[in-house]
Chains A and B, each alone.
Chain A
Amino acid sequence: MIQNEMSRRRLLGLGLGLGAAATLTLAGCGGGSSSDKSTAAGNGGKDYTGPKVDLKLWNGFTGGDGDIFKKLVEQFNSEHQNIAVSVITYEWQDYYSKLPGAVTSGNGPDIAVMHMDQLATFAARGVINELDDVAKALELSEGDFAPTVWKGGLYHDKRYGIPLDMHPLGLYYNKGVMQKAGLDPNKPPTTKDEYTAALTELKKSGIQGFWVSPFQFTGGMTFYSLLHQWGGTLFDAEVAKATFNSDPAVEACTWLVDMIKQGFSPANVGQDADYLALKSGKNAFNWNGIWQINDLKKSPSVQWGVAPLPQIGSQKAAWANSHNFTIVKQRAANENKVSGSKVFINWLSQHSLDWAKGGQIPARKAVREGAEFKALPEISALAPELEYAAFPPAAPGLGEVMTTFYNSFNEAALGKKSPKQALDDGVTKANKQLEDNRKKYGS
């Protein structure tokens, strides 16, 4: 699949989909008052009292929880007489290809939902507006969010995204398969020793318990998590050099590839085969995104559970990403629309508990710590991972560099190269790409 953050698993999984492109329009009651009170920059989203505005919102939520987003927007529209938000949904893959062209031609949205790792690219390219005033007016600060998520919305010390949710990788386990091998289905492994012990037991029962996919979804993200567990990083602090061939990275990669060599995983696992095998009782463990919870709930015959990733390396870490709200720059600037957009973002951020029901962890701490969120067992089970979640770094043009990273792992996992060789080759190429990006985006 496209080896970056917007690939199919994401399309299928993360979505709050509206099927294709659902457009809701709410006939407001013509609440435009003649006196235009809106100030130049609005008041950062506290309220909006200007003439009625129609706002277009783009998202990539094509999955099963789209109705929740739709309902939230409907509720917002009914509570705000002078703001009407309509939603347009594309698959993430198309979404990021369409957005630049649409914005250039003046047909772009007013509000765009973006992954955290895309913010820097679109900020550097002047597609989205700074949102520091929104954060200030809403008195949002790092303390309201997980620090990693909050900082992810920054580019060159300015805020471009208001985080809505977070979606980490978790350990999915098939309870039936564990039972078959005499393992306690309610005690998923949490450490390296427990993990290998469980895999050994499974192997004795003829089950390859940890299918290692060579593709980004999910093997690449598994390796990403392990690399951080071993204490490595993908890039140096300035994101100027790739470091995913460091000793910890090579060790993490070797451990994962050895799962195949030791027979805990079959070789040549295809795209989605790891997850399908988990569902059909051929695989015991799958490190997969939080978005699979809703998919698994649709299969009542499967006995499954989800837990934070086990700690294999020297520290805990898990791949994660986050959806952010952004405000798109328009060719013809319209202050009323910007103010209205800010009101919407603030409102939805406060209503993100409903979003959690769609399969995401809300970004706001207050929502996350509320009793209602804790009543969502599977999703709240992964909330502890946010302490140590490894979010992708913020640097413009990182998409193709990440592709290089995931392809390096692909070659190692398919046995085309040794882990060291694959990662060395990947780093050489990634460094050239980073160099090109530096020329292109300055900095």
Chain B
Amino acid sequence: MADVIEVGAARDDAPPPAGHPRRRGVTERGHRATPYLFLAPYLVLFLVFGLAPILFGVWISLHQWDLQLPNRPFIGLENYRDLFSSDSADYADWWSSVRATAIFTVLSVPLLVVVPLGLALLLNEKFPGRTFFRAAFFAPYVLGVAVIGLLWRFLLDANLGMVNRLLGAVGLPADTPWVTDVPWAWVSLVGVTVWWTCGFNAVIYLAGLQDIPAELYEAARVDGASAWDRFRHVTLPGLRPVLLFVLTTTILASANVFGQSFLITQGAPGEQTRTVVWRIVDEGLRNYDVGQASAMSVLFALMLAVVSIVNFRLFRYRED
């Protein structure tokens, strides 16, 4: 509130625009309402599609809630307790899906942060065919997960797939179970995801790189800085906000992995590659236990919130 009034007051001090004499009261009211009016469209959307469903979800998670069953008894924290007590039917599935999601996130995020950065540095250089390569690396990202999922499932098939055949042709083992056994399934899922989405992060880096003033590089060069020094002391600091953005969105995107394991490994072996989002979808839409699914969502959101806060803290620390 205080900020808003301050802004309004500051504006009042400014001379009125020529040719627009204004009546004080009306304008002041107008000033006060203006930020809210500008905010209103988003605020309405946020309330209706953001905040309200979140609160409703929390409410549902405290009930034994089923879309059709008539009674939806309030059961307090029982849905949450189920996720923490080892004798419930949901316990093992839930924590195995958290484990799967954690493995995927820890393996994929570093690659999805570093590989696109290298790619962006290369694509930022001037060389013939640069536009072509920029398009080529971005291209997989425009494909849907169903397309890349089916494509890679067949390419990676242990017995019929192209990947094993090529490996065999160059004398490497040709029977690696890429999609039916761990750790190979993780290699496949992470590899496919990097191939699929690294173009997106690269484009964001590229935009960030082009924002770094060329004079800084010139000055560094004049001072005798090597290529590594220029990267370390000019490029990286210049990219810090972009890095934070890329890191945060990539962690969230990786934690929400669903389609890749659903289509490529189908959870195999057993349920070892079934992820949290898959688990939630199953619980809510296939078992119709919306209460339990909401409890899972809330818990998962809290986990991700903690990770994001740590992430922001780390970057702020560096700035100090």
Instruction: Please report A residues at the B interface, Cβ cutoff 8 Å.
Output: 1-4, 96-97, 100-101, 103-104, 125-127, 211, 214-215, 266-271, 273, 276-277, 280, 282, 397, 399-400, 403, 407, 410-411, 414, 416-417, 429, 432-433, 435-436, 440
Would you call A104 and B67 a contact (CB within 8 A)? yes
- Expressed in whole angstroms, the minimum distance between the Cβ of B59 and any Cβ of chain A is 17
Would you call A215 and B67 a contact (CB within 8 A)? no
Instruction: Tell me how many residue pairs across A and B have CB atoms closer than 8 Å.
Output: 104
- How far does the alpha carbon of A417 sit from the alpha carbon of B271 in the complex, in Å? 13
- Expressed in whole angstroms, the minimum distance between the Cβ of A52 and any Cβ of chain B is 30
- Expressed in whole angstroms, the minimum distance between the Cβ of B285 and any Cβ of chain A is 4
B269 at the binding interface (Cβ < 8 Å): yes
B282 at the binding interface (Cβ < 8 Å): yes
Residue of B nearest to A426 (CB): B270
- How far does the alpha carbon of A282 sit from the alpha carbon of B161 in the complex, in Å? 13
Partner of B282, one of A270, A273, A400, A414: A400
- Expressed in whole angstroms, the minimum distance between the Cβ of A411 and any Cβ of chain B is 4
Which has the most chain A C-beta neighbours within 10 Å: B89, B156, B157? B89
Would you call A215 and B266 a contact (CB within 8 A)? yes
Would you call B288 and A407 a contact (CB within 8 A)? no
Given A399-B287, A429-B89, 15 extra CB contacts under 8 A: A2-B286, A125-B66, A211-B159, A268-B175, A268-B180, A270-B154, A273-B158, A280-B160, A400-B282, A407-B267, A407-B270, A411-B270, A416-B181, A429-B92, A440-B64
Instruction: Please report B residues at the A interface, Cβ cutoff 8 Å.
Output: 64, 66-70, 87-89, 92, 153-154, 156-161, 175, 177, 179-181, 262, 266-271, 282, 285-289
A-side contacts of B153, CB under 8 Å: 270-271
Known: A97-B286, A270-B179, A432-B89. A1 touches B266 (CB 8 A): yes
Known: A100-B67, A126-B68. A273 touches B157 (CB 8 A): yes
- Expressed in whole angstroms, the minimum distance between the Cβ of A142 and any Cβ of chain B is 30
Residue of A nearest to B159 (CB): A266
Which has the most chain A C-beta neighbours within 10 Å: B153, B156, B268? B268
Would you call A100 and B158 a contact (CB within 8 A)? no
Would you call B66 and A414 a contact (CB within 8 A)? no
Would you call B70 and A126 a contact (CB within 8 A)? yes
- How far does the alpha carbon of A3 sit from the alpha carbon of B268 in the complex, in Å? 11
Residue of A nearest to B70 (CB): A126
Closest 6 pairs (CB-CB, A-B): A432-B89, A268-B177, A97-B285, A268-B158, A270-B157, A125-B68
A-side contacts of B288, CB under 8 Å: 100, 125
